[in-house]
Amino acid sequence: MSKSLIEDFNFKNKKVPSKEILTDYDVFPDKKLLDELRKKIIEYLIDQDIPEGLELNDFINEKIDECLEGYDLTNLERSHIFNLIDDEINGYGPISELLTDDNITEIMVNGPKDIYVEIEGKLIKDNSISFINDDHIIRTIQRLIQPLGRTIDSASPMVDSRLSDGSRINAVIPPLSVNGPVITIRKFKRNMTSIDDLLRVGSLTAEMATFLEACVKGKLNIIVCGGTGSGKTTLLNILSSFIGNNERIITIEDAAELKLEQEHVINLETRTVNYNSTSEVTVRDLVINALRMRPDRIIVGECRGKEAFDMLQAMNTGHDGSLTTLHANGVADALNRLETMVLMSGIDIPIAAIREYIENAIDLVINIQRMHDGKRKIVNISEVVGFDNDMIKLNPIYEFVQKGLTDKGEEAGEFRKVSKTPHVYKILKSRGVDELDKIFK
């Protein structure tokens, strides 16, 4: 329905206050009564079919009034109950408003009354909302994933996908989750879509931004590395925005999160084995297929396995300007992990040959981290510059030097340029990119 049911309800002499001024237990100090009413109404209303010829609004009004009969509730309490039911019908239950709050970057449901949110990089327990029980959580999961063509049950107790707004949802239920159903939603950051947004929050300097833009336009092969929740995908999306409109871009992801605005973009997404026995399509399958699609750029959302070899092969065979992310604690660790991933491909190649393959393919490694104060910073940008005692050599270009915490608990430190004339500057000059002359000359 296009309009909220709350707006459509034909309440007689009932005023529905704004949801934003209400929280579950502010309105209902009696938590037991609130849970009793919610369970009674939701299970009675949601699981029933609407009789033929009866309007939805009339049906909802009638059934809610039946359920509330005999309870001595104030107008505020009755209105709050109606709001909760509206969220169940038109939204996603208790977490409906969390999903629309741009300040919240992650939602974690660990149990009916154990809900956490991440705001500005910090985890906060939200005591203002709750689910009725485990079944209520599972019902909400099903509502979230049903439009995606996914399902969750005891035979398929785990799902990982993306919502229509680009947010990533992961849900696990028993028997895999011993303590009950768990939901984790990493929200798509609408306020982090350009390099100016990263500058605004202090993730890098203007000089570093100019450098990265030149590296993407100059078709360097780039890896973005960092830990979970460090902002790798956000940074990858922003770097991808520097690619020109005249290039054919193919993105490959487990769950489509990248939001590229260029005209010529092909988005490919993996497929897991589902309840209808469809065959699995992996990132590696899509990378191999992408090479047959005449790409100018290949962007792999996250490299985590056998596809590493095929991605490096693409980079080594003329597909310059490819981008990817991977989990690693630093730039050196990123190359070590890449080496391990190539070994996972099952291809019999000596370690020395793998390292040479990586050294020829990768130009730049960017490490982004979530700091102690919750803010994300690009802490290292390094170039790959050959070998040192059979090990791949990295030359740092920019780094963030930490200097402890301020009185407010914020990370103190400074960005600094380490290399005066990096090797990639010469590569970019040879490709006609002159934007870095003022920085390195």
Instruction: Report whether 115 contacts 137 (CB < 8 A).
Output: no
Q: CA dist 288 to 298, 391, 410, Å?
A: 11, 28, 45
Please name the residue that has the structure tokens 């949801």: 19
- Residues 412, 383: Cα–Cα separation, whole Å: 26
Domain count, the chain: 3
Instruction: Report whether 141 contacts 131 (CB < 8 A).
Output: no
- Residues 377, 198: Cα–Cα separation, whole Å: 9
| Helix spans in 9-71 (H) | 24-27, 31-46, 56-68
For residue 177, the domain's CATH number is 3.30.450.370
| Shared-domain flag, residues 80 and 107 | no
| Shared-domain flag, residues 177 and 293 | no
Last residue of a domain, one of 132, 164, 186: 186
Residue 362: what pLDDT?
96
Residue 9: what pLDDT?
32
| Shared-domain flag, residues 220 and 233 | yes
Burial label, 130 (beta-carbon count in 10 A; 0-12, 13-18, 19+): buried
Residue 7: what pLDDT?
34
| Shared-domain flag, residues 376 and 232 | yes
The helix/strand/coil state of 11 is coil
| Shared-domain flag, residues 37 and 110 | no
Last residue of a domain, one of 70, 89, 108: 89
Residue 46: what pLDDT?
58
| Shared-domain flag, residues 175 and 152 | yes
Residue 429: what pLDDT?
93
Q: How many residues does the chain have?
A: 441
- Residues 254, 337: Cα–Cα separation, whole Å: 19
Residue 33: what pLDDT?
65
Instruction: Report whether 216 contacts 317 (CB < 8 A).
Output: no
Here the tokens at position 310 are 């095929």
The helix/strand/coil state of 408 is coil
Residue 271: what pLDDT?
78
Residue 394: what pLDDT?
96
With residue 369 as reference, give the H or E element that holds it: strand 364-370
| Shared-domain flag, residues 253 and 326 | yes
| Shared-domain flag, residues 201 and 327 | yes
- Residues 31, 25: Cα–Cα separation, whole Å: 7
| Shared-domain flag, residues 142 and 265 | no
Here the tokens at position 199 are 């500058």
| Shared-domain flag, residues 181 and 210 | no
If the chain, 441 residues long, is cut into consecutive pieces of 10 residues, what is the mean pLDDT of each piece?
Answer: 31 35 50 66 62 68 71 73 70 86 91 91 86 88 86 88 83 94 87 88 95 97 93 93 94 84 91 66 90 92 88 85 94 94 85 92 96 90 92 96 83 91 94 91 71
With residue 379 as reference, give the H or E element that holds it: strand 376-388
For residue 409, the domain's CATH number is 3.40.50.300
Q: Where are the beta strands (DSSP E) in 233-291?
A: 249-253, 265-269
| Shared-domain flag, residues 138 and 221 | no
Please name the residue that has the structure tokens 């879509």: 193
Domain that holds residue 297: 195-440
Half-sphere exposure of 254 (CA within 13 A, CB side): 18
Identify which of 220, 237, 240 has the alpha carbon closest to the alpha carbon of residue 385. Answer: 220
Last residue of a domain, one of 27, 60, 89: 89
| Shared-domain flag, residues 391 and 430 | yes
Instruction: Report whether 347 contacts 309 (CB < 8 A).
Output: yes
- Residues 82, 101: Cα–Cα separation, whole Å: 21
